[in-house]
Each structure stands twice: as C-alpha cells, then as structure tokens.
Amino acid sequence: MKKYIYIMTIILFTSYGCNSILETKDLLDKNEQNYPATESDVQSSLAAIYQKMSLEFSHIFISTLVSDETFGGGGPDDYESMAIDQLKKNDDNMLSLTWSNYYSGIYRTNKLMENINNVKVIDPSSKQTAIAEAKFMRALFHFNLAQLFGPVPVYTSSASVNRPNSTPEALYSQIATDLKAAIDSFPAVNFTAIPTTRLGHANRWVAEGMLARVFLYYTGYYQKTELPLNDGTTITKAQVITYLEDCINNSGHALAADFRTLWPYTNKYTVEDYAYTKGLGLKWLGEEGLNKETVFAIRFGNIADYNNFPSGMNKMNTAFSNRGQSLQRNTFPFGAGWGQGTVNSRLVDQWKVEEPTDPRIAMSIVNVKDPIEGIVKYEDNGWSQVNDTHLFVKKYTTIMAWKNKATKTVYGSYTDILYGAAEADYIRNEQDIVLLRYSDILLMESELTESSTNLNKVRARVGLPAIAYSLDALQKERRHELAFEGVRYFDLLRWYRKDAGKILQDNQQGVSVLNSNVSATMNFNIQDRMNATGGLFPIPSSEISLSKGTLVQNAGWGSDGSI
C-alpha cells in the first residue's frame, strides 16, 4: 500500500525571512483574507505545519550526534556534524536552518489558529481537533527549540515582532498550556479506530506522552517540582502520571511482540535475504496502521528524486548510512549514505557489561565486520570516512532489496519497490522517524512512579529478566531501549545538568577510530564545553542581527566555541 503523504510538494504557507526572527509573509495567491476557506484547506494547512518537522538537521538528528551514542562521522569536510558531536560550532550561523524551520512551523500554527474562523462550513469537531493539533505542534516546535537553544522567544501570534529571549518559566508555561489545551480538546479515540489517513496527526495520546517528556525535562534540567501554566496554576507529577496511565490503559497502543519488527530491515522484500533475519519468520509492522507501538512519527512520502531532493526524503537515514562503497551490493542489505553518526564502540562495550544477553545490541547496531550481518565486503576509507568504528545505526539506515539476485542488482531502497516509486538510489528513504514510542510511555511512567512493572514489560519483550526498580536500572534501560532515537542527550541533561559533560567525556574520550583509514583516537573537551554552555547550542548570529540585538547569544559561544 502506498503511504499517505504528509510531506507536500506545494507548501501553502511558504514564507521568507524578514526583519524579524520569524518568517512571516505568504508568497502564494492564498492569503490571510481568503485562506483557509474550506475544511480541505484546513487539512492542507495542517499538512504544511507537519512538514516543518522534516529537515536534515532536525532535533532528533542533532541530539543523536551530540550524545555519547555516536560520533560526527562523515567525511573530512563534514564540519557541522563534527561540531555538533563535540558541542562546538563550525560557523556563526550553525543550525540556522533548524532555528528558522521550527519558527516557520510556529508561524504556520499561529496563522491557522488566527484564520480558522474564516472557514464557513466545517464540522465543529473537526475544527476543535484542528485547533488542538495546531496547539500541540506549536508546543512541540517551541520545545524542540527550547531543548536545543534554551529559553528562546515565545510566539503565540503571527505578528512580525522581535521578541527577546524568554525566561524558562514563561517558555515552558506556554508549552505546557498548549499541550494541556490539546489534551483537553482531543477526543479519546482508540488507536485501532484511527483511520490510516490520520496516521501522523497528533492526538490525545501523543499530547499526553509529550507532556510527560516536557515535565521530566523541565523539572530535571531546571530543578523544579512542577510545570507552570499560563493561568498561574501548575501541572504536578501526579497529574502527569494520570495522563500516562490514561495513555497506557485507553490508547490501544502496545509493545510490538518482537523488537526487530519495528525496523524496516524486516520488510518483506529484504527480510529473507538478510543473513541476520533470514528464516526467523519476522514481518515488519510497517507504517500503515499495524504498528501499535508508534505513538507519533514524522511521516515521509515517496516523492523524493534527484529533482526533488530536499522535501520528500528522510535525510537522517541517508546521513547515518555507510559511505563510499565501490559496490554497494557488497554491504547488502545496508545501502549508501554519508557515513555520519558512526556508533561509539564504547557504548557497545558498556552495553555488553551492563546487559550481557541483551539482543537489542545486534537489533539496533550494524557491525559491518560481524559475520552475523552477512556483509560480503566493507571497504574502509569510503570517500575518506572519518570517525569510522565499523559500527552504524541499524534503526535508521538505508535498507536495500534485491532487484535480481542472479545478476546481483539491487534497489537502492526497499521503498522503491514497496511504494512503487521511481528509483532514486540512496536518496529515497521513506522510513518514518518515530518521535515517541509506546515503550517510552512505559518507561516514563516507571520513572515517575518509581515502580518496575512497566520497566519490566519493556525488558520482557526482549527476553530479559525482571528487576527491581532503581534510578540506575531505569537509566540503563532507557539507554538500551531508546538508543539512537534522540532522547539520550536530553536524558543526561535532565538527570545531571552540567555534570552530564563528565559522562559524555568519559564515554567518548580515547575511543579508537579510523580517520581516512588512519588509526586515531577521539579527542574531546566536551566536559569544558558543557560547563560553558549548559548543553545549549548557539543562537545563529544572523537571527541576532535580524532582531537588532533583541536576542542575546547563549553563554559559552564566543570564539572559544569554534572547532
């Protein structure tokens, strides 16, 4: 079945940078006087909002690189990924597209909420749900910015106004207020009753899970006990537990029976040709409604080709895939990419000590030198690969399928055949990026209640024995279960704040790598960088200039922050 496409070829709220940090002017014929005019327009507007989650240097990509899970990787000139990895900067406008993309998303949510009353004929429940989705997305964009850049400006209208850095309280109060309003407005529809055309949309369960994530981060990083709301009240730990229990008991979401079926290396066109999965009867749950474990994901369609490179593909998969192989079929089923985000071998070593029998190590990580993978040949120094550990992310990588095994020809991605699209080699990666899984819901509930029941459900799924609850056990379980899913770095920040720098330093300093086929060791001063920056990235200088000095740069990002 062809996936429902949220990534649009024509964006209805296209806008440009002006003398404000927000993009604010519509460039198409549809404008604030006449758009949206129909219920269909409202859905198109929502699609344009969701589209803003899709970008190369996304929140999940950045947080995975800067964590102790992966190194920058890529080639000698991939300065931005290497800078992110070490909490440094490659230029004064590093991550400017990330900043502007998320603020453009906020602008689109505000425009929709301001103009939705222009729609003359719309079902009241559809209108209520659309507003709830917009509020959820406004909260998500603000939260992504808050975790990456700290107390950023808050925008609740589309007016072109330069706003200063917020206080943490003001920023998180708006985020929490939007999420609570969304929860209160969304209908409690069981996942099994949600039409496939609605997959990828926010709903009650998504909002409840994200509110828990916001609560844990805010109260941890800023050392608070409650999450503020705009009306002066707060959200307590007990309320967050109630939200998570509602999701657990009523959402219809559940753990997949087999962890491997969450990831597309078990797709039907690859699974029996991949040595690691052959003959095990595994079947990928896919992205069309069978996967009850996916609570919220960035959805991708099948429109990427060489003439439409940026907007239709999952670039994170391309970035994380192996690099510069002369015959890509030799690394079957793992296809071509840019070689960024190479996996830290010390993570594997520690994982084997912490949980020696955990099958998720091989389920989550590609070791190109391990015979279990069935790789014919991996060539070192592909396109001058740096930070090569021979380990790559298995959850998010290009997965090939045989076109003709007799002639040894391949489809660059299984999606070429699965979704019936024209071949586009490694750029056609349409795997959804999962932002919130049900296992995370269970682990957050376990952490907040300090109980082991749901933690042990996650462990039992991969055949591990039940254990008593402790914070240390919970932390290890999150590290293993959610590896490479963008949560590790922010978990460390909320648990340890600036002291997270020592953990990041100890877990990466001195790890052996190949840099352009020359043996080397990783050299970090990320502990010093964490002390200087608090784990936050620099506000792009261009945005500070556009704000005419209203914005103030984050601490620690002077000349000493350069690579």
Q: Do residues 141 and 95 touch, judged by C-beta distance below 8 A?
A: no
Q: What is the per-residue pLDDT for 300?
A: 83
For residues 70-76, average pLDDT: 98
Share of the chain above pLDDT 70, in %: 90
pLDDT band at 54 (very low <50, low <70, confident <90, very high): confident
Mean pLDDT of the chain: 91
Please check the confidence at residue 310 and state whether its pLDDT lies above 60.
no
Directed axis angle between helix 500-508 and helix 526-533, to 10°? 160
pLDDT band at 529 (very low <50, low <70, confident <90, very high): very high
Q: What is the per-residue pLDDT for 116?
A: 96
Please check the confidence at residue 102 and state whether its pLDDT lies above 70.
yes
Q: What is the per-residue pLDDT for 8?
A: 38
Region of 71 on the Ramachandran plot (φ > 0 left; ψ -120 to 50 alpha; else beta): beta
Residues 141-159: tens digit of each pLDDT: 999 999 999 999 999 999 9
Q: Do residues 127 and 116 touch, judged by C-beta distance below 8 A?
A: yes
**CATH node for 1-55+95-166:** 1.25.40.890
pLDDT band at 4 (very low <50, low <70, confident <90, very high): very low
Q: What is the per-residue pLDDT for 24?
A: 40
Query: Domain limits of the chain?
Result: 1-55+95-166, 260-291+300-431
Q: What is the per-residue pLDDT for 302?
A: 67
Q: How many other C-beta atoms are found inside a 10 Å radius of the C-beta of residue 257?
A: 9
DSSP 495-531: HHGGGHHHHHHHHHTT-EEEETTEEEE----HHHHHH
Please check the confidence at residue 401 and state whether its pLDDT lies above 70.
yes
State if pTM tops 0.75: yes
Q: What is the per-residue pLDDT for 7?
A: 39
Please check the confidence at residue 375 and state whether its pLDDT lies above 80.
yes
pLDDT band at 459 (very low <50, low <70, confident <90, very high): very high
Q: Is 407 exposed, middle or buried (0-12, 13-18, 19+ CB in 10 A)?
A: exposed
pLDDT band at 270 (very low <50, low <70, confident <90, very high): very high
Size of the chain in residues:
563
Q: What is the per-residue pLDDT for 21?
A: 45
Q: What is the per-residue pLDDT for 124?
A: 94
Question: Any idea which of 157-161, 215-219, 368-372 has the lowest mean pLDDT?
Answer: 157-161
Identify which has the larger pLDDT, 315 or 469.
469
For residues 387-392, average pLDDT: 98
Q: What is the per-residue pLDDT for 303?
A: 63
Strands (E), 213-312: 227-228, 234-235, 294-298
Q: Do residues 398 and 263 touch, judged by C-beta distance below 8 A?
A: no
Spatial distance between the Cα atoms of 312 and 150, rounded to a whole number of angstroms = 30
Q: What is the per-residue pLDDT for 430?
A: 83
Q: What is the per-residue pLDDT for 82?
A: 97
Please check the confidence at residue 188 and state whether its pLDDT lies above 80.
yes
Share of the chain above pLDDT 90, in %: 83
Please check the confidence at residue 363 and state whether its pLDDT lies above 50.
yes
Alpha-carbon Rg of the chain, whole angstroms? 23
Spatial distance between the Cα atoms of 484 and 58, rounded to a whole number of angstroms = 13
For residues 109-134, average pLDDT: 95
Q: For residue 339, what are its two tokens?
A: 């070689």
Q: What is the per-residue pLDDT for 18?
A: 35
Q: For residue 484, what are its two tokens?
A: 């490479």
Q: What is the per-residue pLDDT for 289?
A: 84
Please check the confidence at residue 306 and state whether its pLDDT lies above 60.
no
For residues 341-356, average pLDDT: 98
In the block, residue with structure tokens 């290497």: 82
In the block, residue with structure tokens 């002390």: 531
- The H or E element that residue 316 is part of is helix 315-320
For residues 169-184, average pLDDT: 98
Spatial distance between the Cα atoms of 421 and 423, rounded to a whole number of angstroms = 6
β-pair type (401-404, 391-393): unpaired
**Distance between first and last Cα of the chain:** 46
For residues 332-341, average pLDDT: 96
pLDDT band at 425 (very low <50, low <70, confident <90, very high): low
Residues 490-521: tens digit of each pLDDT: 999 999 999 999 999 999 999 999 999 999 99
For residues 443-450, average pLDDT: 98
